[in-house]
Structure 1
Amino acid sequence: MHPTVATPSDKLVVYQIFTRLFGNQKTTNKPWGSRDENGVGKFNDITDIALKELKTFGISHVWYTGVIEHALMTDYSAYGIRQDHPAVVKGRAGSPYAIKDYYDVNPDLAVDVKNRMKEFQALLKRSHDNGLKVLIDFVPNHVARQYHSDAKPKGVVDLGAKDDKTKAFSPGNNFYYIPGVAFQVPEGVNPPVQTEKQYVEQPAKATGNDVFSAQPNINDWYETIKLNYGVDYQNNRQMHFSPVPDTWTKMRDILVFWAKKGVDGFRCDMAEMVPVEFWGWAIPQVKAAKPGIIFIAEIYNPQQYRNYIFNGKFDYLYDKVGLYDSVRRLMEGKGNAKEITRVWQNESGDFSQHMLRFLENHDEQRIASNEFAGSPWVAVPAMTLSATLHTGPVMIYFGQEVGVNPTKAEGFQGDDGRTTIFDYWGIPEFQAWVNGGKFDGGKLSKDQKQLRAFYQQLLQLVNTSDAIRTGAFYDLQYTNNNNQSPGYNATTLYSYLRHSDRQKLLIICNFDRDQAAKTSIRIPAEAWQAMKLDGSKTYQFNDIFQTKTKVRAKAANAIPVELPPLGVLVLEIQ
């Protein structure tokens, strides 16, 4: 029942910034609009003032999404950058997960394109000077179809440059091929930028989402090509890892390149599509080059969690299939709090502290959208739970704290409740916080200011609570239901303890949108023993979070509590 106690350093507070959207103040928002029509945020827009505000907000790590150069439709050929064919680019601004040059940064993000790397390094320094650590994406599984590094260091051989293209698979190749067959653009692809030149790829390469066909589907990751780590997918996934495949060496060198630039960690895209053996080989070498650097895996297969932590050497994993999915169902009014118990039971013991919890990121729908909860306030119990359940990291997506709600198709993204990752766009709710570069929330509504204040208060709790940062966990659901605790709806109420030597907390979350809860919480004798408290004494329960409620109760008795709809109590036991 009690996971291993983690170290305080595990309680990271990550703020994901979609870099091209963060500082864009243009309000044109023309669907499929160009860079010049709709505007684009720059590295330089993330100023000292912005970073100070994020630090004050409670952030420890900033994840700059979309930094490394990726394919896009904007023409930068005047700067010596090869133009991408629009037939193999998604959206005018392009996907940040179709990397075009692992050794360069996105020219869209620079004021002076020639000095784009210097501008990124200046942002890195600003972030560090303001007490923030920096994460960037590492996209290991696939690259843009027209990958070409014009910024690679001397002596580096480009991916695919020495491949034997007559072979579908070779351990020495960086890519997979369909020999003798040309690539065909998927049916239905109709880019907004037209060109007379046909896209030519001969022979066709396999597509990023493991599609070994010359013509992928429009719903495939058709703009990317799969990297070859020595796994022969078409022959029962035979593994050829000795000698070390060329792709392993190249990708390790890319990680070390960015580590030496000063980044503090990597969020590794679709990490489970790359063999765990590569990670177990590469991560220790990168950590030797830069001690303290962290690795976060985007991973969706719970059966592989232990493998990627203990053999792959990852520090943290996405908790999407576990906590996010369970809590999302509750937020949508169709889940059951019992699912939360199942989640921690599956993750407890040796790796709960490795799970990164979130309610939004660039892949997921916004809480405020009609496709999700329809209101940003539904996040109050869910976000409190996500931030306080265990000692692992918590993440917020930029604009989550002001209730960003996408309501129309931006272009390639479509109207799907997500903030676009493919298009040039301005985010109105976030622009209201940026307020022309003042970053003071001057244009936010009263409701938005209150929402942001909730998030700031939650992060302050996370950053100052010893029990939340370092303590053990005890689930109270099994001793609380309507039979044992009248009024306790175990479907929509979730209660638990977080306790360290210095602090003991009783936390209760009400996920019901409409019903208040008036009930009592039973803490069993074993829990008092686990907290090293005398189960025969009377204690004061003080809410240290939102309501400032105070309750006195004998340990042997149930603790009376009242919570409004979507209410939360964080009661310190004294």
Structure 2
Amino acid sequence: MNEDNSKLLIYQALPRLYGNVSGKNLPGGSIEENGCGKMSHFTCERLDDLRELGFTHVWYTGILEHATTTSYPGIMHDHPDVVKGRAGSPYAIKDYYDVDPDLADDPEERREEFRQLVERTHASGLGVIIDFVPNHLARQYQSDCSPQLEEDFGERDNRDMRFRRDNNFYYLTDQMLVIGSDYGPEPSAYSEYPARATGNDVFHAHPSRDDWYDTVKLNYGVDPDTGVGHFDEPVPDTWDKMYHILYHWAMQGVDGFRCDMAEMVPVPFWHWVIRRLHPDFPQLLFIGEIYQPWRYREYLDAGLDYLYDKVGLYDTLIGVLRGERAASDITTVWQSQEGLSGRMLHFMENHDEQRLASDFIVGTGAKGIPAVAVSALIDGGPMMIYFGQMLGEHGMDEEGFSGRNGRTTIYDYWSMESMRALHQPALRTEEQRELRERYRRLLELVRYPVFDHGLFFDLMYAVGDRLDPGRQYAFLRYRPGKLALVVANFADHTADLALPLPRHAFDTLHCQEGRSCRMLDFQSGDEEVVTLESDRPYTIRVRPHDYGVLLFTPPESLLPRVR
């Protein structure tokens, strides 16, 4: 199969949990009690395996030093009242220039160990993505690794002003931060005066437990009372600080950034910083976490390469899996994103969302396969898989701060059952082995050229009476010489379908009709020589909670290998 395409396949992993196979899971336990994964657990062998599966990048989530209750020589722990869990949130950054010491075998060598991780990743042919968290930082932020001439955040702020263009923070003047009674049985001992606005735009001094109370909102020159931005040159001080942070990590070999809550940072900043970085790092990737579809184009125009496809494809597919939406609703997603094909990052799991195999979605990884297939095959945009997903991680542990919510904790020290099975294959169940093989085959199919930048044609309007539009979805992908018919079956029963290719599809895709082709059923391995004709039905059997693909290629071409 031709692997020389440009479709990004991203493997997201939280190093704190990835390599921890201790199995000592005390809810709310310390690092000594529960253990912790290390950067060294991403061995050459593991990284080579990811590359062989077809991944192009690894997103190492939680690399930067962040708020925590754990102490190290030279690194004081944070006040527990402004730390979520024992390990702390990877998004409450305590030093933008430093590496989380939890992740190092020798904490004093943590930056060198990260350099080695980057080197191993690149040697395996993979790119490195880390988080860039521009909107907020930890309450007790203090950098001891920033360049000598770089002033710390807030160092020159006028704390008597609620808003000042070159302040790094917003100050709630004459108010003391109050950590509410829902944080614990006793009033908080943490003191902050004057209080600073909380990361999720809480501009009062009483953030709740559901707020991002462990973080402080950064000021990019936007007046919070009027919404007016003050961006004239010289740019606001926060902009300049963030440029230097990005430049630093790009110099360390980082290939891209997943930009946390990019939509909470003004668009002009993105345009300015990306344009400034690109002459030195032209291939640097920026993936924006955006949840406002009406703003997609302005962030892409500002220079972000890809955006989260959460409120579009992800939410729709979750609704279909749960039986709350019709499969035909997928049609509305691509219609609403016209002109954005290939610019949206597709995923079915990440650190913010509930696991497919959790009790909150479908209860088993196998039932999530048709949604993953649609997500992977519908266009040439990047696709992301979350660690544990390919082994059906349930996410139903009660880890501590995170609780039993169907998500994998980002706040606690923990050992995941799926990661123990990953690192110790003898522990894998038959169900896990079968699920991983299904993912392997899907990732192999994704690398087939038609799924890179091939054109897309929705079949639902033309074949809606030939299938169940509530539980089945069908579409075509095409590039010259190669055509694929894809069917996702979300139903509990096998679908035996005879689907025609409408004449309009041939016209739209500029696909030649009447030529002889080899037709391969990717799942069964059956193949035959057929003639491409409009309105002729082509038969395909799709198992329950699965997907089917018919691949049409010239008679002399090599078809994808089937295992």
* TMscore range, shorter length: over 0.9
Tell me which residue corresponds to 2:70.
74
Provide the rounded CA distance (Å) in 2 between the counterparts of 1:183 and 1:409: 30
Work out which of the residue numbers 343, 361, 367 in structure 2 matches 1:378.
367
Aligned with 1:232: secondary structure? coil
- How far the C-alpha of 1:290 sits from its partner, in A, is 1.4
In 2, the alpha carbon distance for the partners of 1:561 and 1:107 equals 53
* In structure 2, distance between residues paired with 1:555 and 1:88: 65
Mapping for residues 162-181 of structure 1, pairs under 5 Å? 162-181=156-175
Aligned equivalent of 1:20: 16
* Paired residue type of 2:373: T
Which residue does the alignment assign to 1:294?
Answer: 285
In the other structure, the counterpart of 2:444 is: 460
User: Deviation at 1:539?
Assistant: 4.8
What's the CA shift for 1:535? 3.0
Q: Does 1:470 align with 2:470?
A: no
Find the aligned partners of 2:53 and 2:430 in 1 and give their Cα distance: 18
Query: Aligned to 1:160, which of 130, 154, 162?
Result: 154
| Structure 2 equivalent of residue 508 of structure 1 | 487
Instruction: Provide the residue aligned with 1:122 in structure 2.
Output: 116
- How far the C-alpha of 1:531 sits from its partner, in A, is 4.1
Over 3 Å counting, the alpha-carbon distance change for 1:520 and 1:142 in structure 2 is same
Aligned partner of 1:99 among 93, 101, 119:
93
1:443 Cα deviation after fit: 2.0
- 1:260 is displaced (CA, Å) by 0.6
- For 1:342 and 1:148, how far apart are their aligned partners in 2? 47
Q: Distance in 2 between matches of 1:163 and 1:43?
A: 36
Matches of residues 331-370 of structure 1 in structure 2 within 5 Å?
331-349=321-339, 351-370=340-359
TM superposition shift of 1:536 = 4.0
Q: Which of 469, 491, 500 lines up with 1:490 in the alignment?
A: 469
Distance 1:291 1:454 in 2: 36
Cα deviation 1:127-168 (Å, max 9, x = unaligned)? 001111000000000000111101111100000000000000
1:294 Cα deviation (Å)?
Answer: 0.2
The one-letter code sitting in structure 1 at the alignment partner of 2:63 is: V
Aligned residue for 2:407, secondary structure, equals coil
Compared CA separation, residues 537 and 182, structure 1 to 2 (3 A): same
Give the equivalent residue in structure 1 for 2:274.
283
Residue 268 (structure 1) shift: 0.4
Spell out, residue by residue over 1:312-344, the C-alpha distance to the aligned partner (whole angstroms, 9 max, x if none): 210000100000000111111221122211101
Separation of aligned partners in 1, 2:511 and 2:162: 65
Query: Does 2:521 align with 1:543?
Result: yes
Q: CA deviation at 1:432?
A: 1.2
1:118-517 aligned at under 5 Å gives the runs: 118-190=112-184, 198-235=189-226, 237-243=227-233, 244-310=235-301, 312-349=302-339, 351-435=340-424, 441-463=425-447, 465-482=448-465, 485=466, 488-512=467-491, 514-517=492-495
- Does structure 1 conserve the Cα–Cα contact (< 8 Å) formed by 2:262 and 2:289? yes
For residues 31 and 431 of structure 2, the distance between their equivalents in structure 1, rounded to whole angstroms, comes to 32
Q: How far is the alpha carbon of 1:406 from its aligned partner? A: 2.2
Deviations 1:26-85 (A, max 9, x none): 111000000000000011111111111111222110000000000000122xx2113310
Aligned partners of 1:316 and 1:543: how far apart in 2?
Answer: 32
Alignment deviations for residues 230-273 of structure 1 (CA, whole Å, 9 cap, x no partner) = 111122x0111113100000011100110011000000000000
How many pairs are equivalent?
548
Alignment identity in percent?
45
Query: Matched residue of 2:336: which SS?
Result: helix
1: CA distance, partners of 2:44 / 2:426: 18
Distance 2:469 2:333 in 1: 16
**Aligned-partner Cα distance in 2 for 1:303–1:571:** 35
Q: Residues 180 and 206 of structure 2 are in contact (CA less than 8 Å); yes or no, is this contact kept in structure 1?
A: yes
Structure 1 counterpart of 2:281, which letter?
A: K
Counterpart residue identity of residue 412, structure 1: F
Measured in 1, the distance between the counterparts of 2:284 and 2:86 equals: 33
Q: How far is the alpha carbon of 1:493 from its aligned partner?
A: 1.2
Question: Aligned partners of 1:202, 1:217: CA distance in 2, in Å?
Answer: 18
Deviation at 1:213, TM superposition (A): 0.6
How much has 1:537 moved relative to structure 2?
5.1
44, 47, 51: which one pairs with 1:55?
51
Q: Specify every segment of 5 or more residues in structure 1 that has no aligned partner in the other structure, as ranges.
A: 1-7, 436-440
Choose the corresponding residue for 1:522, options 497, 500, 505: 500
What is the rounded CA distance, in whole Å, between the counterparts of 1:532 and 1:277 in structure 2? 40
Letter in 2 for 1:108: D
* Aligned-partner Cα distance in 1 for 2:6–2:194: 46
Tell me the amino acid that sits aligned with residue 324 of structure 1.
Answer: Y
Quick check: 368-377 or 182-191, which moved more? 182-191
Q: Please report the TM-score for the alignment, with normalisation by the length of structure 2.
A: 0.94
Q: Compared with structure 1, are the counterparts of its residues 142 and 234 closer, same or farther at alpha carbon in structure 2 (3 Å cutoff)?
A: same
1:231 and 1:146, CA in 2 relative to 1: closer, same or farther beyond 3 A?
same
What are the superposed Cα offsets for residues 493-544 of structure 1, whole Å, 9 maximum, x if unpaired? 11111111142111111111x1222232121112123444443456553113
Q: After the TM superposition, which of the residue ranges 49-58 and 366-375 deviates more from structure 2?
A: 49-58
How far 1:199 sits from its partner (Å)? 1.2
Residues 287 and 186 (structure 1 numbering): CA distance in 2 closer, same or farther, change over 3 Å?
farther
Distance 1:335 1:65 in 2: 32
Q: 1:109 aligns with which of 94, 103, 106?
A: 103
1:5 maps to what in 2? none
| 1:56–1:536 CA distance, 2 compared to 1 (3 A) | closer
Report the 3-state secondary structure (helix = DSSP H, G, I; strand = E; otherwise coil) of the residue aligned with 2:346.
strand
Is the CA contact 1:538–1:555 (under 8 Å) kept in the aligned structure 2?
no
Which amino acid is the alignment partner of residue 238 of structure 1? V
Contact in 1 for aligned 2:5/2:449 (Cα 8 Å): no
Paired letter, 1:421: I
Describe the SS at the equivalent of 2:49. helix
Question: How much does 1:553 deviate?
Answer: 6.2
Deviations 1:167-193 (A, max 9, x none): 0000010000001111111222139xx
- CA contact under 8 A between 2:349 and 2:355: conserved in structure 1? yes
Counterpart-to-counterpart distance in 2, 1:468 and 1:109 = 36
The Cα offsets for residues 539-566 of structure 1, whole Å up to 9 and x where unpaired, read as 553113x222446466132222222212
Q: 2: CA distance between counterparts of 1:217 and 1:252?
A: 32
Contact 1:17 / 1:63 at 8 angstroms: preserved in 2? yes
Question: 1:12: Cα distance to partner?
Answer: 0.3
Match of 1:4 in 2: none
Instruction: Report the equivalent of 2:561.
Output: none
What amino acid is the match of 2:129? L
Tell me which amino acid in the other structure corresponds to 1:99.
I
Conserved? CA contact 2:99–2:110, under 8 Å = yes
Once residues 323 and 129 of structure 1 are traced to their aligned partners in structure 2, the CA distance between those partners, rounded to angstroms, is 34
Root mean square deviation of aligned Cα: 1.7
